Amino acid sequence: MEIFIVIFMTIFLCGCDDGAKAPDYDNFRADMTLQSVEQINNGQTEKAIETLKEFRQKAPEDPFPVAAARIEEIRLDAEKANKLLRVGNVNELGLLLQMIETEGNASPEILAFRAAPPALEALAKYCARMPWERSSDITDGMELLRPHAAILKSSAAFNAFEAFQQSKFETMKHDEQLHDIQDMLDRLDRAAVGGDAKSVQTAMDALRAKYPHNVFFSCLSFQSAADIAALNVNLEGITYGREALEIASAVRWEGLSQSARRGVAELVAKKPLTYSGAWLAAVTGGRAASVDFFNRLRTSSPLLQPNRKIIAALLQLNATSSVQDDWSRRSPCPGVPEMIEQILSVGLRNTPNNKQKESK
């Protein structure tokens, strides 16, 4: 049956042949198509355009070279624009875009480059402001770039640059915050030594308003020497943690139990870090600690004078007949500088080195 069908089809086809010949295969179109596609795939944009132009001239009725050539022309223009962008040549980029539009060859892809010159100009202004002095400068600078974010973020290089700037901002912001906390603790430290209860409360309120979770506030609840020792251990590695504990101890000194005062004395016995700590060391230590305290005050800037309660307490601890005789000869009503000088003189006369000299 199958043999019969094959014979029948052969006779039928032979009978239908009226002498017409099948058209020859168009080798030119095939060759030009393969050649242009290969050039496109290899990134040889300019060569591909030339091949497609020749193709279009010899086969104007074929839609392929027309469409493909237009795509490659857009690609070539985009490559030129990107090259100018990479080197930051904004002026030449503007001229290129103007020429393309004038020739009527603009495309959505090319028109998108219109946003590049103003974006690069904004980026240049941003970089001209560097190096930054404050983290807020980075924030303000980034606001200049915000309207151009779409075009800028299309660049991997800009994304890396933006990430670096964000890291720089966070570092600067952290450092500024630490410096601000240091200043506020310093004001509180000075108030605890030189001010009154109202000034201390004002400084505490300012710190709480801005940094409600600052470590200082966790240092206000200790009740015993063991509490202070535990706090001191827990504060290791925390920036300004030890300073906060010393200042908190000074703020609470009047109402502390004897156990808590012993803990404070142990805390500040070695090397206090604040004026408050130096005062507590003077109160709980000896004359040498008083000398150290007033030496710190004497070199403080701006000059810090202790309040009268502190002066009275230290006078009581360091009172001697020689001190009273010296004051009676100097002035019937000595002022704070005189009292400081007298306490220093008492401390200096009673230091180990001076005692050794007197014995000799």
Structural domain contains residue 305: yes
Same domain for 318 and 217: yes
Tens of pLDDT, residues 95-133: 888 888 787 777 777 777 777 788 888 888 898 889 999
Q: Are residues 340 and 216 in the same domain?
A: yes
In this structure, the answer to whether residues 52 and 200 fall within a common structural domain is no
For residue range 232-242, list pLDDT tens digits in order. Answer: 999 999 999 99
Q: How many domains does the chain have?
A: 2
Separation CA 238–CA 214 (nearest Å): 11
Residues of the domain holding 103: 25-128
Q: Are residues 185 and 62 in the same domain?
A: no
Q: How confident is the model at residue 180 (pLDDT cuts 50, 70, 90)?
A: very high
Residue 8: pLDDT band with limits 50, 70, 90: very low
- Residue 186 shares a structural domain with residue 304: yes
Is a pLDDT exceeding 60 seen at residue 14?
Answer: no
**pLDDT single digits (tens) 186-216:** 999 999 999 889 999 999 999 999 999 999 9
Q: Are residues 113 and 253 in the same domain?
A: no
In a domain, residue 194? The reply is yes
Q: Shortest CA distance to 291 belongs to which of 307, 304, 302, 278?
A: 278
User: Do residues 185 and 277 touch, judged by C-beta distance below 8 A?
Assistant: no
* 153 part of a folded domain: no
**Do 155 and 120 touch, CB atoms closer than 8 A?**
no
Angle CA 122–133–179, to nearest 5: 140
Higher-confidence residue of 291 and 180: namely 180
Report in angstroms the alpha-carbon separations of 266 from 117, 224, 226, 235, 260. Answer: 67, 12, 11, 16, 10
pLDDT at 345: 56
Phi/psi for 230 (5° steps) reads: -65, -40
Query: What was the pLDDT predicted at 55?
Result: 76
Residue 205 lies in a domain: yes
- Residue 7: band (very low, low, confident or very high) from pLDDT cuts 50, 70, 90: very low
Separation between Cα atoms, residue 66 and residue 43, nearest integer Å: 18
Whether 328 and 197 map to the same domain: the answer is yes
- 121 and 196 in a single domain? The answer is no
